[in-house]
Structure 1
Amino acid sequence: MQDAAPDEAQALFHRSDLRALRNDLALALRAAAHHGLGEGVCNHFSVALPQRPDWFLLNPRGLHWGEVQGHDIVLVDAQGRRLAGSHEIEPTALFIHAAVHRIAGKACVMHTHMPYATALTLTDLRGLDPALSQNAMRFYGRVAVDAAYNGLALDAGEGERIARAMQGADVAFLGNHGVIVCGEKVSYAFDDLYYLERACQAQVLALSTGRPLQPVQSELAARVAAQTMGERLQSELFFESLRRSLR
């Protein structure tokens, strides 16, 4: 993919607020690796620039999430051109992330193949039951399922199909594939990513007992979701604790 280096991109990339955003994205990647949510050097996190929503920061190709630092993050545009940064970029990241930013209108996009969430995409459930555990209830009304697996996302059409299948949801379970988690901020998206995997883990463990599951009434699940989303300080505090504990 052709590189491009407009003066505007270079100026933005080195601004202090964008440097902080790069550091946040890198921290989220290291935290995901720390909690076992990564997969080799695959999968990607991205965040759109507030000043230019058609440009976004992205983790580079070939680096394990556990080693990514702010200076490793790359700036790209919706056409897949590298605008700033020294590393290469991976094609499937561009096709999925560019489409979700543009079509679904999401600021921060995290795509993973984390184990328990992915396990649920392999079943006829196709995802999380948001009326089971308290952790699951935070996602009530926020989840979409895309059951149409079409292989690797190696073209813009597949990325756009996934983005449209999300129908504006914050979380998408991709059949036979993995998940996408989105948020207004890096800290919010990471908090949801972490608790989504915890909720999926609890559901898989409950299913493994062979005993009937006991979901709560939908009204209660909706109320818990509203309570959780109405106060995101806990998300910020969690992210700051990761900043102190992970280097």
Structure 2
Amino acid sequence: MTQQPPHLDGAQAEYTSPAVRQLREDLALALRAAAHHQLEEGVCNHFSVMLPGAQNRYLINPRGLHWSEVGPDDIVLIDVHGQVLAGRHRVEPTALFIHGALHRLTGRAVVLHCHMPYATALTLTVERALDPTLSQNAMRYMGRIAIDAEYNGLALDDAEGERIASSMMGENTNKDIAFLANHGVIVTGHTIAHAYDDLYYLERACLHQVIAQSTGRPLKPVDAKLAAHVAAQIQGEREQSDLFFEALRRLLPAPL
């Protein structure tokens, strides 16, 4: 009988612990919710969450499964260098480089990356991103958006993942949302529930902006100070985010 290396045995024990089991359930739920809300794209894109207290291990969705069919036992545990530590599936290559760099360099617990339609549409414009002074939904993102203004091809090496991560960092920049030129978006957060809520409302805000722009009529933003005030109000009370995620848990049970 072939024995696993000690670090893989330890990872398997960690993978099956109650705390990590809950994270796997929550991450799988976020993926099913994204499919339910039509934020997914085929079997591509990726959501991930760091293990509690870890700086080098995270959970991520598997390669090849549609998000609507992902359950907690499909989630894969990997390290920031892309080595699979536990789980029964492979991981898509660009996920390793994007998520590994973002977790490693930003320290954010949750990283959600997708090509959701309306947000991605705005990455194709000259402005590259959502205007956070337009709708009330958009105002929650005031001061939180980074823009990676130049498309640079598929993220198939560490350098590209690090370049994307660097767009959210810097001396005067510490953003938790990124619009990637000609590509898609990244939403980061401290909990899966809060990050998913931000992802969902980001797409709604982008939808409203695209529809408004399609009328051809001039748009009427609010004052930036008011938008910042609204953003602080929303960030100061996140119970709604948790309640939304629990509602999704009731509506979208894990597949058998």
Shift of 1:11: 1.4
2:81 & 2:211 partners in 1: Cα distance?
42
Shift of 1:148: 1.3
- The equivalent of 2:198 in structure 1 is 192
- The equivalent of 1:112 in structure 2 is 114
Return the letter of the residue paired with 2:215.
T
Q: Secondary structure at the match of 1:6?
A: helix
Shift of 1:51: 2.7
Instruction: Compute the RMSD of aligned alpha carbons.
Output: 1.1
- The equivalent of 2:230 in structure 1 is 224
Matched, 1:234 2:240: yes
Shift of 1:64: 0.3
Shift of 1:9: 1.1
Matches within 5 A, 1:1-247: 6-167=8-169, 168-247=174-253
Q: Secondary structure at the match of 1:160?
A: helix
1:163 & 1:32 partners in 2: Cα distance?
23
Which stretches of structure 1, 4 residues or more, deviate above 4 A after TM superposition?
A: none
2:71 & 2:8 partners in 1: Cα distance?
23
Shift of 1:8: 2.3
Q: Secondary structure at the match of 2:31?
A: helix
1:135 & 1:53 partners in 2: Cα distance?
32
2:14 & 2:236 partners in 1: Cα distance?
32
Q: CA-to-partner distance for each residue in 1:171-196, whole Å, 9 max, x for gaps?
A: 00000000000110000000000000
TM-score for both structures, normalised by structure 1: 0.97
Return the letter of the residue paired with 1:222.
A
Shift of 1:125: 1.4
Q: Secondary structure at the match of 1:101?
A: helix
Return the letter of the residue paired with 2:66.
H
- Provide the identity percentage: 65
Shift of 1:6: 2.3
Q: Secondary structure at the match of 2:85?
A: strand
1:161 & 1:148 partners in 2: Cα distance?
11
Q: Secondary structure at the match of 2:186?
A: strand
Q: Give the unaligned 5+ runs of structure 2.
A: none
Q: Give the unaligned 5+ runs of structure 1.
A: none
